[in-house]
Amino acid sequence: MRTYSQILPDAFVRHLRLPRSTIVLTVRKLREAGRITKGYHHAPPPNQRDVARILIALSAMKPTAAVEHGRTIGRLRGPGGSAEDAIVDIIEAAAGISSRGLDLTAGEVVIGQTTPLLEIHTLQQDGTRGLAVYGERPPIGAYAVTHHPIDAVCAIAREILNVQ
């Protein structure tokens, strides 16, 4: 039987196409800092917040900066709460835990690497575009970001949270 320490990196590698070594080191740093569940045999499996924290931390310029970067991005305020809560909402909707009226048809999560910023871009089934911004947008070109398609985030959530 595969353990969560194997399932976690595999899901992120498969859907985000990031190097496994980066994901493993980032997850290790988050565990050491107490930011995600430990994943031991007797511990509870990863939860929605763990998945959100890993996703955010993976946008750090390097894994050694993942913990502080994840805290900074996760605390950003925007429509309805924190950036971390917004990612948790997407993960819960993908896993069927709650819907919160989210349409996960298309879009992307954009996370700042060099500036505290998180944006959620959506495209509704009726063609309407949505944008939720957490943090302040600096001038275009003044920062580096990572882009994660919402369908990839949803696939990771379903795989890790064992939802078929």
Taking the C-alpha atoms of residue 78 and residue 133, their distance in angstroms, rounded to an integer, is 6
Taking the C-alpha atoms of residue 26 and residue 66, their distance in angstroms, rounded to an integer, is 6
Total domains in the fold of the chain: 1
pLDDT (0 to 100) of residue 41 = 58
pLDDT (0 to 100) of residue 148 = 93
Amino acid at 118: L
pLDDT digits (tens, 9 = 90+) for 22-76: 999 999 999 999 999 876 555 567 889 999 999 999 999 999 999 999 999 999 9
pLDDT (0 to 100) of residue 3 = 60
pLDDT exceeds 90 at position 163 = no
pLDDT (0 to 100) of residue 94 = 82
In this prediction the pTM is 0.88
Residue/partner pairs of 89-92 with CB below 8 Å, 24 or more apart: 90/120, 90/150, 90/153, 90/154, 90/157, 91/48, 91/51, 91/52, 91/153, 91/154, 91/157, 91/161, 92/48, 92/157
* Residue 128 structural domain: 4-160
Mean pLDDT of the chain: 86
pLDDT band at 147 (very low <50, low <70, confident <90, very high): very high
pLDDT exceeds 80 at position 17 = yes
pLDDT exceeds 80 at position 101 = no
